[in-house]
Structure 1
Amino acid sequence: MPEGSATSGTLAVRTVAVRTVAVRTVAVVAAIALNAAMQVSGFLAAPAYLRPDPTWVTVHLFVAVVFALCAGAIWSTRGARAGIAALLMVVFPVAWIPQTFLNVVSSYGAVWPIVAGVELSWTVVLMLIVLSYPFGMFSGRFDRFVAVAMIVLSAAFFVATLLLRQPEADDCICVPNAYAITDDPVPWAIADLIYRGIGIPVVIVVSARLLLQWVRGSVPARAVAFIMPAALLSWTIMLVVIQAFRLAGTSADIVIDTVALFTVASIPIAYVAGVIHARNMRVRVADLMRITREGADRGQWAEALKTVLGDESMRVYWWDESSGRYADAAGETAEAHAAGEGTLAITSREGAPIAVILHDKVLTQNTRLLDGISSALRLTIDNSRLRAEVERTLEHVRQSRQRIAESAVTARKGLERDLHDGAQQRLVTLAITLRSVAERRNIVADPQLEAEVESAIEQLGDALAELRQLAHGIHPSLLSQGGLAMALPELAGRCPVPVEVVSDVGRLPEIVEVTAYFVASEALANVAKHAHASRAWLRIAHGDGQLVVTIRDNGAGGADATGSGMTGMADRVEAAGGTFEVESPRGAGTTVIARLPA
């Protein structure tokens, strides 16, 4: 995709997001403003003897504000996954208006019956909100059946109000109903009794069902339900109490009415609390990654999942290629426990099966939580596989470097042997021959020949000396014969700077001795060439399974740890499986430390 197209696409997405937020904000503010305006006008329009208590009106307005603000909270928390819950909470303040607005239109016979017909529509909206808890949708047949039944019952009540209701003196001072088909109050009383007689038991059944699910549910089920059962049950109780007063022909006092309003307001608050709690459960996936980031076996991973989600009934079964089945860490197959539980199948990015998780059904619709668990497990498996591959690679590298170091030692010994048995022996033989010729020079008096023989003998001696020195540098004979205890003092004696040697080690593996010797040799060479030191110290210590070689001087310091000499020493030490350190502050000398496994 061209860069310009990608940028324009991103801007378009941002624009849509900004517009969505703006529309939702306007909806929340408009719902609150409309409800406040209508309730205040209804309060002022009511006659003094029908005007409700100001406290009740204030709490009544507070309920509408709570629903609208909770809608904004759900939109903010769940975004596109808010479902219908947030929309219903915005609609609720509008459905909440007719209770206090009836007196404003009481003088219009064609208007007040319509307002009265939707006076209790808020109960339908409230029950739809409850049924959509906690995922913003109707998840089962029971939920959908109750939702349809409540809507049909509310529509029937609206029709009955238009055709049968007459103005009651204790309700409002209304003109006659323009749509009424009878003046007899009995049909309306029966219709009202049927509506309330069906609606209240439905509310009780929904409350009891939600409470029973909460009690019987597993830990995740109770966590997701949270405080909604208590809020709904408290509202149901207040609803029954108020209807009992109504059937008794009296009105509940202001305290009961106010408490009932607070129980209505508690329902959206409980809804938001449940949504936030469900989101926090998704955040716990981060805790799961923290627990398993260093790698965990199958049993530990399953226990960590139970701990993080608080579900002891959750089980994890892993795919076994040899048997073609899922089995847990103890070898038990998944088929024995699959019935009646939610199932989360986890596969690799290539589609190969990894594991299956049996969990509480209440988590089935919490797709973001389950996606997080899948990603966490998949990432843990990938990390474990990558860690194992890295460890295998490192082991191969370590073994390869060790083989290289050992082969270098073998090659040096072979070269020394070849030089000693080959070229050096031939040169020695040639020297003996020339010496014999020189001894017979008096037989043939030839001064020029005598001079040439003497010159050849001198050159041959120099060649032998250089060859012995070369062989000595490749693999010191003292090191082979007596180890570090004999070779290091001789090495220190050749250094122009006085070197104090401290060594208490016996014979060690050849690769260790050779590495230690050449590190000491290179370090002392650096002391002689670059340190400007008057004294140096060489210490060899053996303990805790390792050999520590320390070379220190009192020179100028400031050595370059990345120079070719230092790098060569570090490579030689690391090839033998050791570690190499350089400390060289300016003006305080240089300390080289090599630690080798011994």
Structure 2
Amino acid sequence: MAPGRKGRIVKRSAVIAAVVAVSLAMEISGFLATPEGERPEASWTTLHAMVPLVFAASAGVAWGIGSALVPARLMVIFPLLWIPQTFYRVIEDLGWLWPLVRGVDLAWAVLTGILVLLYPRGWLMGRVDRWIAGIALAASIVNLLAVLLLAGPDPAVCECAPNPYRIAELPAVFGFIDIGYRIVGVTLALVIAARLLVSWMRGSVPARTVAFLMPLALLAWVITLAAQAVSYAAAATADEVLSTVSLIAIASIPVSFVAGIAHARNMRARVADLMRITREGADRGLWAESLARTLRDASVRVYWWDEERGRYADAAGEPIDHDPADRRGDHSLLPVASPTGMPIALIRHDRVLTDNMRLLDGVSSALRLSVDNGRLRSEIERTLEHVRQSRSRIVEAGVEARRRIERDLHDGAQQQLVSLGMRLRLAANHARSAGDDGLAADLEDAIAMLNLALKELRELAHGIHPSLLSSGGLALAVPELAGRCPVPVEIDVQAEGRLPEVIESTAYFVVAESLANVAKHSRATRGWVRAHVRDGELELVVRDNGVGGASPEGSGMVGIADRVDAVGGRIEIESPPGAGTTITVRMPLGAALVDA
């Protein structure tokens, strides 16, 4: 954990612990200072004390998972304003303090209403919300001034010392302001509840899932608040059931707020799943379906930018000929563009998701990354295909060049040397007939040297491109090649008909190099070569019973692997120490077999 983050957690924990201690101190001291006959029920007092604890705990959670700090701070302030009526027994002798406490002892209701207005975004969005918050704050300031300047001790609450701030004794005016303040509070709470409830009922599935607990809690609190205000105005004793329901409803509000934050956070976490699903590229149908499932919004539509026509089109390629956003304003549009500003897509979503911009930013990043991955994947595949085709052309060109050199040597230098040998033979015979034995012997030596050079030239031409491979394919060339290996080799070649020339040449090279390794390094007493055509592939296996331990990094093995890879083939090398070596090569034919 980062030092800065750890320090913030410690600081916030200390603040929460401090406000909880102050709240419990007010509750306990007030309960003990009240005479036993006038004390409220212990169960009710316990429930009353639990409300600020719930707010404080919710503040800790909101600080940890929320993006906005204001809601968590309001929840921390709440326990300080949750002042029990019994606490006036503790401060009744402090004439300078109890008027201040009484002036703010209903501020918790204002704070709770503002907290609801912030739900679930974390800040005030519309003008109406700001007006409601402004009226509530103004009414609280008027009430505070009225208490300080006009209120006197209330015998029903405490035997308080005189109010030193009081400037006039106007009980009727104070009563009017006091009751009016409560009426304004109830009215604002009803307006907030009505707005939230209507928004929830008219909202789509995303709207209801984001705000699924708050309407119920707020409605219960407003109903009980109104009933308690009527009882206060009528100077009647509040019903115990209403008071209990009110406490439970108030405690439910911060829990509902935190639940909404957690839900929004969970939706953002599901964007990671969206990126995982579409990591291979942006399949348009899959993307729209996955996005609707991630956002839990069946009304989601994705319109893709058609660069050729310069307009947006749906997944089927049909251009949109209407405004994607509906006239009712229930939906919003999220344009997604590349880092260079090139349009990618237009996402139509439920308007309520606009409140969760971090979620929409994640969706935009996921789509942008998905499109980039698809584009890069296509470019890499095209590049690899070009490389494969280029390597194949190089191999084919090499095969053709070797065949041409072999043909030139056979038709040119070899034929001339053969003709020269015949002329030398005639000259030797003529010298012998003329009785010049010395000249005849010299000509015989020249003929022997010429035959040796001709043999070496034929072997060189055979190594460049064996004529048997050109004329008879693997079925003739491989047995001839194995016959020149000092180790006995068993041959099983069942290639029906002629194979593509580049495949035959590659297979011949693999066999030649493998048998050379058998003769030089394996210390084998026997070898096997098998070549079969199966499922459109040539399967070539070269095996020996030698000492094994062949390294794939050896120059010979690397050369084999490069040639096989150039024609799109695969190679497997098994060479455990003491168990011989097996080289298995599979090469796709890529074309119909050539008839022999």
Length-normalised TM-score, structure 2: 0.93
Please say if 1:401 is aligned against 2:378.
no
**Alpha-carbon deviation of 1:443?**
5.2
Taking the aligned partners of 1:414 and 1:503, their CA distance within structure 2 comes to 26
Structure 2 residue corresponding to 1:141, chosen from 127, 147, 150: 127
Alignment-derived partner of residue 21 in structure 2: 33
Question: Is it true that 1:381 corresponds to 2:371 in the alignment?
Answer: yes
Tell me if 1:21 matches 2:12. no
Cross-structure match for 2:594: none
Per mean C-alpha deviation after superposition, the further-off stretch among 374-383 and 181-190 is 181-190
Alignment correspondent of 2:295: 309
Asked whether the equivalents of residues 95 and 162 of structure 2 are also in contact (C-alpha less than 8 Å), the reply is: yes
String of CA shifts for 1:294-319, please: whole Å, max 9, x gaps: 22322321221111111111222222
Q: Which amino acid aligns with 2:126?
A: G
Partner of 1:6: none
Q: Name which of structure 1's ranges 40-49 and 273-282 shifts more when overlaid on structure 2.
A: 40-49
1:131 maps onto 2:122 in alignment: no
Partner in structure 1 of residue 320 of structure 2? 333
Q: Is the 8 A contact 1:98 1:116 kept in 2?
A: no
Shift of 1:150: 0.6
- Letter of the structure 2 residue corresponding to residue 364 of structure 1: T
For 1:413-469, what per-residue CA distance to the aligned partner results, in whole angstroms no more than 9, with x for missing partners? 100111011111111111111111101103544443222211100000111111111
In the alignment, is residue 559 of structure 1 matched against residue 572 of structure 2? no
Letter in 2 for 1:136: G
CA contact under 8 A between 1:328 and 1:334: conserved in structure 2? no
CA distance in 1, matches of 2:425, 2:309: 85
Q: 1:546 aligns with which of 518, 530, 537?
A: 537
Q: Which moved more, 1:178-187 or 1:352-361?
A: 178-187
Higher deviation after alignment, 577-586 or 89-98: 89-98
* CA deviation profile, 1:367-421 (whole Å, cap 9, x unmatched): 2212211111111111111101110111011101110111111011100111011
What is residue 527 of structure 2 aligned with on the other side? 536
Q: Tell me, yes or no, if the aligned pair for 1:289 and 1:380 is still in contact at 8 Å.
A: yes
Selected match of 2:98 from 101, 112, 117: 112
Aligned 8 A contact 2:33 2:86 in 1: no
Matched, 1:466 2:456: yes
Q: Note the residue ranges of structure 1 that are not aligned, 5 or more in a row.
A: 1-12
Pairing 1:207–2:197 present: no
Q: Report the Cα distance in structure 2 between the residues aligned to 1:178 and 1:567, rounded to whole angstroms.
A: 100
Query: Are 2:508 and 1:520 aligned?
Result: no
Q: Structure 1 residues 93 and 298 mapped into 2: Cα distance closer, same or farther (>3 Å)?
A: same
Most deviating of 195-204 and 305-314: 195-204
- Partner residue in 2 for 1:264: 250
Instruction: Tell me the CA shift for residue 160 of structure 1.
Output: 2.7
**Any conservation in 2 of the 1:232–1:267 contact (CA below 8 Å)?**
yes
Structure 2 residues without counterparts, runs of 5 or longer = 590-596
- 1:20-419 superposed matches below 5 A: 20-78=8-66, 81-97=67-83, 99-180=85-166, 183=169, 185-247=171-233, 249-330=235-316, 331-333=318-320, 336-339=323-326, 340=329, 341-419=331-409
Following the alignment from structure 1 to structure 2, what is the Cα–Cα distance between the partners of residues 345 and 83?
28
Inter-partner Cα distance in structure 1 for 2:100 and 2:280:
67
Secondary structure in structure 2 of the residue aligned to 1:260: helix
SS at match of 1:91: helix
Contact 1:50-1:172 at 8 Å conserved across structures: no
Matched, 1:572 2:589: no
Partner of 2:585: 594
- The structural deviation recorded for 1:122 is 0.8
In structure 1, what is the Cα distance between the partners aligned to 2:237 and 2:294? Answer: 51
Q: CA deviation at 1:76?
A: 1.3
The alignment partner of 2:31 has SS state of helix
| Structure 2 counterpart of 1:290, one-letter code | R
Moved more, 285-294 or 208-217: 208-217
Judged with a 3 Å threshold, the aligned counterparts in structure 2 of structure 1 residues 386 and 472 are, in CA distance, closer, same or farther, namely same
Local SS of the residue matching 2:584: strand
- Give, in whole Å, the separation in 1 of the partners of 2:524 and 2:445: 41
Rounded Cα–Cα distance in structure 1 between residues aligned with 2:357 and 2:142? 38
Per-residue Cα deviation, 1:247-268 (whole angstroms, up to 9, x for no partner): 5543235444233212211111
- Matched residue SS, 1:580: strand
CA distance in 2, matches of 1:100, 1:262: 20
Structure 1: which amino acid aligns with 2:431?
R
Instruction: Give the drift of 1:539.
Output: 0.9
Task: Among all aligned residue pairs of Structure 1 and Structure 2, give the percentage whose two residues are the same amino acid.
Answer: 54
Aligned equivalents of 2:387, 2:488: Cα separation in 1: 39
Pair 1:484–1:472, CA change in 2 (3 A): same
Paired residue type of 1:523: S
Give me the whole-angstrom Cα distance separating, in 2, the residues matched to 1:114 and 1:349: 57
Q: In 1, distance between residues paired with 2:248 and 2:553?
A: 75
| Contact 1:83/1:137, CA 8 A, preserved across alignment | no
The more displaced of 517-526 and 86-95 is 517-526
Match of 1:5 in 2: none
- Higher alpha-carbon deviation: 570-579 or 454-463: 570-579
Partner of residue 9, structure 1:
none
Normalized against structure 1, the TM-score is what?
Answer: 0.93
Structure 1 residues 334, 68: closer, same or farther in 2, change over 3 A? farther
Deviation at residue 537 of structure 1 after TM alignment: 1.4
Q: Distance in 2 between matches of 1:216 and 1:227?
A: 16
The CA RMSD over aligned residues, in Å, is: 2.1
**2:592 paired residue number:** none
Please give the alpha-carbon distance, in whole angstroms, between the structure 1 residues aligned to 2:86 and 2:531: 97
User: How far off its partner does 1:210 sit?
Assistant: 0.8
Task: Provide the residue aligned with 1:3 in structure 2.
Answer: none
Per-residue CA deviations over 1:212-231 (Å, capped at 9, x if unaligned) read 21121122212221311122
Moved more, 413-422 or 318-327: 318-327
1:583 matches 2:574: yes
**Structure 1 residue 179: Cα displacement:** 4.7
Mapped to 2, the partners of 1:221 and 1:448 lie a distance apart of 116
SS in 2 for 1:49: helix
Shift in Å, 1:509: 1.2
1:483 equivalent to 2:473? Answer yes
Aligned AA (1:58): T
Aligned to 1:8: none
For residue 596 of structure 1, report the CA deviation from its aligned partner.
Answer: 1.0
Map of 2:593 onto structure 1: none
Is the partner of 2:432 in helix, strand or coil? coil
CA shift digits 1:257-297 (9 cap, x unpaired): 23321221111111111111111111111010111012232
Mapped to 1, the partners of 2:433 and 2:474 lie a distance apart of: 52
Does the CA-based 8 Å contact 1:98-1:115 persist in structure 2?
Answer: no
Change in 2 beyond 3 A, CA 1:16/1:527: closer
